[in-house]
Structure formats: structure tokens, C-alpha cells
Amino acid sequence: MHVHILGISGTFMGGIAAIARAAGHRVTGSDRNVYPPMSTQLEALGIDVIQGFEAEQLDPAPDIVVVGNVMTRGQPVVEALLERGLPYASGPEWLSREVLKERWVLAVAGTHGKTTTSSVLAWILEHAGLAPGFLIGGVPANFDTSARLGRDPFFVIEADEYDTAFFDKRAKFVHYRPRTVILNNLEYDHADIYPDVASIQRQFHHLVRIVPGGGRIVWNASDVRLQETLAMGCWTPREGFARADGKDVLWTARPVGVVDDYSQFEVLEAGRPRGTVQWSLIGAHNMENALAAIAAARHAGVTVEHAIDALQSFEGIARRMQVRGEINGVRVYDDFAHHPTAIATTLDGLRRRVGRARIIAVLEPRSNTMRMGVHQDTLAASLAGADEVWLYTPADIGWNAGAVVASLGARGHASHDVNTLASNLAKTARAGDHVLIMSNGGFDGLHGKLLAALERTTQVETSQDA
């Protein structure tokens, strides 16, 4: 079968391409601005990619056109697709029909932590010798790929609540029909799609409604909005997790060890110790992600002891507190945080790790929700854990970023140009600093530009000393 994918360079659609290729299909695709690493991955898979969305790419006609949710009416290829009556499907629909219908699907949903929890869960199953398939919105270091067909029966998927396609405005995750579901948390996000948090809760309840009675829902029992969502109706056994004991809580954890950064913690089931995790991740949020993955893996037949053992060798995920380099004592991190809650928890984890060392937080408000200004009133508070804050403020940001910067006092700075920002950061940073760069995009290569600027600064200082 010839599968042609529109919008192939996104993480999700690129994952669909890899899975379709592994399933034996001929795969082609198109997108705008296809660049590494996705372009490299697609090339390695032997997938031809066309630049742009012109109608000619549908000649000769493929057997099925898989349409990404970046596609809109008015694009020539979309208009030609509809006019000619060619077979088409959304990415989630195609995946459900061609891959997931015979699989035990373990879906990870929530506003935060989906990528990390999915990666941890996939690694636990892999470590147990189960060779799961997976489709994750990031690249786990243990696998070096975001998607894999895997072996029956298990398939782990990052279950996004974003809408499916221009012709299907349901949340993506309702297509997956999971047997095991993790609900990490629920907050207001995707303001370009949902008018309020209640509308997101309804989508989550649609997911809850399709989990079978013999399945399992692993959920954050301390999250009030999840409590409200499950109160709408639930027909599946539940296992709650939280940082502390409480109503409906089965799984808890407590930090142990010398450093209070949650990189080492004890897992408890119904108050009974089950073992201790010591791993490379930090932060209470990642401890919770681990609890959820342990519980879900047990539903798939992996013992708690084996899951805890697997976590010791979990290597993390690209762009989640990833160290991009260290020059002259200045360490530069790359992190995906783009919501005030995620920003605050990421900073808290780093603060616990580095103690009193200086943290410089650099934020690109790039997500649709952030660019609309939905979080502007809570943004400054989420950055309280940083000693210095730089906010990228492009001309089309759409809200008064200056007010946020002003509320940060002497700690706050703004820059509307990435090259200037890199130069200013290099001049400001000093040995022992931790520069945390947060964006859900590439930030115009700021990480590399900053490291290069730091290198130049070091060379200038060395030449002057000589």
C-alpha cells in the first residue's frame, strides 16, 4: 500500500511514517521547512519527502492520504484531495485502524508529563523483554527514536488531547481505544482549540468512557479536575497515585538520599515499601511520572520489582532537562516546559539539584496558548525559582510582555532578537551558573548560539590574560 502523509515532519506524523514503513508500506510525504533531525530520520527510512503542499504530489494517486492536523482548507493539496475523492484519514484514525486494533494499548494522557511517562513506561516494558511498540512526542535516549512498530501485544502511546484534523475536531486520544490509561493531570491549555477547562474535561471524559471494564485507569488522585472528570462517570477499576497518602491513593513515594531533588525515592503501595528508585531524572513531577508508569506496567504484567529495576537504567528524554553543553563552568540546559505549572516544577527540580547556585531562566512563549496571553498573569510567579529571567519577546507576541518583565523587578529582562539574547546571556553568565532554556520549539538555535558565544567570550578572556 502507498501511504502519503501530509505534514510529515511533525513528531507525531513522522512517527506514523516510521510505523507505516516498518509495517511494510511504501511511504511518502510532504511538509514545509523539513529539517534535521526529522529530515534525517525520514531519509534513513527511505521515505521521500516533498517540500510544500501543491496538488501535483497526488499524481499518481496514493492508496491512502494521511492528513496531519497542521493541514487546513485552502491548501492546494487538500483541495485536490477532496475534489478528486481520494481515500484519506487522520493520523490517529489510520494508526487505530491499521496498527492498534489488535494491540493492548497503554495510553498516557494529561496536560503535563505525557512524553516522560510514556518513555518511562515503554522502557519498563522493553526492560521486561516485551518489545512494545510506541509512539511518543519526544526521543527517549534508551531507544533513540520516537516511534516503533514493536511486537504484539503491547503499544504505548502519548495520548494528546489536541484536535485530530481539520475534518475531525475530537481529541486525538479518543481514537486509540486503550486498555490501560494514565491520567497525569488536567489544566487549561490549547486555548486555540478549547474555550475553557470544562471543554477539556469533557474530552478527557470521552476517553474514560471507552476504557473497558477489564482495563485500568491510573490517575493522579490529588488533581481536583481529574476528580471532577471521573465523577462524570467511570466504569473501569482505578489506581490512584500521589506524593502523599489520601483518598483513593494506592501509590505514593517519598524522597530519600542525601540530595532532596527526588532523584532517589522509595515507592510505596498502600503504604507498604516496594523498593527504591535511583535514577537520572530530578523533580517531584518526575517521581509522580514514575509512579504512574510502575502502576500501568503492572497492569500489563510487569512486577513492581522489575519496574523499579528498569528505572535505574532509564536515560531520560531529549529536550527534558537535557544538558546541551558546559563552557567555562556555565551549564546550558534545553527543556520543553511551556506552561506555568511545568516551568515552576522544572525550576523546583533544578533548584533542589544545584542548591544556591545561580539559575538563569530563558523562556520563549511559543505555544499557541502562551502566544495568546492566556498565562500572562501566572507566568511571573512560575519563574520565582530563578535568580535571573530572560523573556523572548518577538514583535508578534500579542500581549504585554513588558508587564511580566516589570513584575520580576531587577531579575527580569526582555529581548526581541535571538542573536542579541545569546550575546547578552554570554556576557551575564559566570562560572557556576545554570542556564535553563525553555521552549516547545527550536528557539531559533539559541542553545548552540549561546554555547558559541560563551566559547568566544572564553577565548577573548584568554587572549587578554596572555
CA distance 341 to 349: 12
* Alpha-carbon gap, residue 331 to 204, rounded angstroms: 39
Return the pLDDT at 462: 53
Q: Which of 424, 364, 370 is nearest to 394 (CA)?
A: 364
Shared domain check, 137 and 177: yes
Ranges in the chain, pLDDT < 50: none
- Are residues 164 and 305 located together in one domain of the fold? yes
Quick one: 180 and 221 in the same domain?
Answer: yes
Residues 438 and 294 in one domain: no
The DSSP letter of residue 453 is: H
**Is 413 part of any domain?**
yes
The parent domain of residue 27 ranges over 2-90
Does pTM surpass 0.95? Answer: no
Q: What is the pLDDT of residue 459?
A: 60
pLDDT on residue 400 = 81
Residue 458 has a pLDDT of 65
| CATH code at position 147 | 3.40.1190.10
The pLDDT assigned to 451 comes to 94
The C-alpha atoms of residue 66 and residue 271 are separated, in whole angstroms, by 47
250-269 pLDDT per residue, tens: 999 999 988 889 999 999 99
- Residue type at 433 in one-letter notation: D
In a domain, 44, yes or no: yes
Examine the domain organization and report whether 122 and 261 are in the same domain: yes
In angstroms, rounded to a whole number, what is the distance separating the alpha carbons of residues 145 and 137? 10
**What pLDDT shows up at residue 393?**
87
Domain boundary among 90, 124, 147: 90
Domain count, the chain: 3
Segment (H or E) for 185: none
Residues 405, 330: one domain? Answer: yes
Is residue 365 located within the same domain as residue 405?
Answer: yes
